[in-house]
Amino acid sequence: MELRVNTHLSLLLVIIGILSTLMAVDAAATGCDLFQGNWVLDSSYPLYNESTCPFLEKEFNCINNGRPDRLYLKYRWLPRGCRLSRFDGRYFLEKLRGKTIMFVGDSLSRNQWLSMLCMIHSSVPTTNYAVNISVIKDMTTYTFKDYGLKVTYHHNLYLVDIVKRRFGRVLNLNTVTAGKLWLDVDYLIFNTWHWWNRRGASQPFDYIQDGTRIYKDMDRLVAFGKAIVTWGQWVDANVVQNKTKVFFQGISPSHYNGTDWGNPKAKSCYGQKIPVLTSVYPGAALPAVAALKKSLKTIKKPVTLLDITNLSLLRKDGHPSIYGFGATDCSHWCLAGVPDTWNILLYNLMF
């Protein structure tokens, strides 16, 4: 009797797997929009336990830092008109056996990279891994040795260069020398924007160069757009199309003004426990999104935009706030949390 039940259960799981695959294929065929939809409660979430992930860093570990509420962990992204395949770490490792996936960008890329590592580890917790840290290259690589998969993070704030000159540090909008570190990678996920409006002591450059002209400052949105065009030229010149797939992470939003989500009394994301439960964020559109999409159109080779802005705007509850690393943080994301969904979307688009 027990054998028959187990056989029936195995058959049922196979049928569910086939149906899920067919629905995913059908969704892709009908051109559904993975990036429009709403957040729904799902008791099977989160996808991993933060306390058992060996990669998770203090600044994103909100539970360990004392965050008392847990409901924010239980939301799943439901795209409009289509179904997302659930992340399967073992399948991911098999598909990427012997390959390299690299996240390139600022701390939001680090947020997504650490999320990916935790998701893989949760699926295959016994697999062996090794870490390699290069201070000179500002890169960290985890290699899952049983599969030969390398998952790398390259810390790079602007993608274009900052060069030291006799008169100061210059952000050069026209050169990308770091590109030599991105060659021959199988999957590249880029990101930049978080630092473009930095000023004062935290700004890591003194001047901006565009062509032959050097400025003390310029419109940062314009500068950002020019940098993306330059990065796109690197993609066109260096990416081997049948070898490497290129993604751009998109613009990750911050939540420092409650007026944007219809709560003027909220001065930041602190105390926010649930998402915006509609599919449309009530606040204004982010100008950086339009600038990014305009610049991406100049690239001839395929670049897939991981257009995470809208779904992340709805997650005012997903930031560390005071449960991060220092001052109130409404820019980065708790892990487990929103970047897990970015990786589910990436996973669906990769394969």
Pick out the chain residues at pLDDT < 50.
Answer: 1-29
Whether the Cβ atoms of residue 173 and residue 122 lie closer than 8 Å to each other: no
Please give the structure tokens belonging to residue 118.
């935790």
Catalytic residue at 107? Answer: yes
Q: Which of 208, 236, 212, 204 is CA-nearest to residue 221?
A: 208
Helix and strand element counts for the chain (H, E): 7, 13
Whether the Cβ atoms of residue 105 and residue 185 lie closer than 8 Å to each other: no
User: How does pLDDT run across 278-308, given as a tens digit for each residue?
Assistant: 999 999 999 999 999 999 999 999 999 999 9
The angle formed by the CA atoms of residues 112, 119 and 341, to the nearest 5 degrees, is 55
Helix axes 287-296, 220-238, angle to 10 degrees: 30
- What pLDDT, on the 0 to 100 scale, is given for residue 326? 77
- What pLDDT, on the 0 to 100 scale, is given for residue 348? 96
Q: Report the SS3 class of residue 101.
A: strand
Sign of CA pseudo-dihedral 146, 148, 149, 154:
positive
- Buried b or exposed e, range 72-98, using 16+ CB within 10 angstroms: bbebbbebeebbbbebebeebbeebee
Catalytic residue at 254? Answer: no
- What pLDDT, on the 0 to 100 scale, is given for residue 18? 38
Kindly name the residue from 107, 115, 268, 295 that is annotated as catalytic. Answer: 107
Kindly name the residue from 106, 260, 317, 329 that is annotated as catalytic. Answer: 329
Whether the model pTM is above 0.85: yes
Kindly name the residue from 121, 154, 194, 332 that is annotated as catalytic. Answer: 332
State the Rg of the chain over Cα: 21
CB contact set of 118 (below 8 Å; sequence gap of 6+)? 48, 50, 53, 55, 56, 335, 336, 340
Rounded Cα distance, 150 and 127, in Å: 13
Where do the domains of the chain lie, and which CATH numbers do they carry? 44-155+179-199+217-350 (3.40.50)
Number of other CB atoms surrounding residue 63 within 10 Å: 19
Catalytic residue at 329? Answer: yes
- What pLDDT, on the 0 to 100 scale, is given for residue 7? 42
248: Cα within 13 Å, side-chain hemisphere: 24
- What pLDDT, on the 0 to 100 scale, is given for residue 31? 61
Number of other CB atoms surrounding residue 2 within 10 Å: 6
CA distances 48 to 59, 90, 124, 277, Å, are 17, 14, 11, 23
Percent above pLDDT 90 for the chain = 89
Q: Which of 65, 77, 66 is CA-nearest to residue 315?
A: 77
DSSP 133-162: EETTTTEEEEEETTTTEEEEEEE-SSSSEE
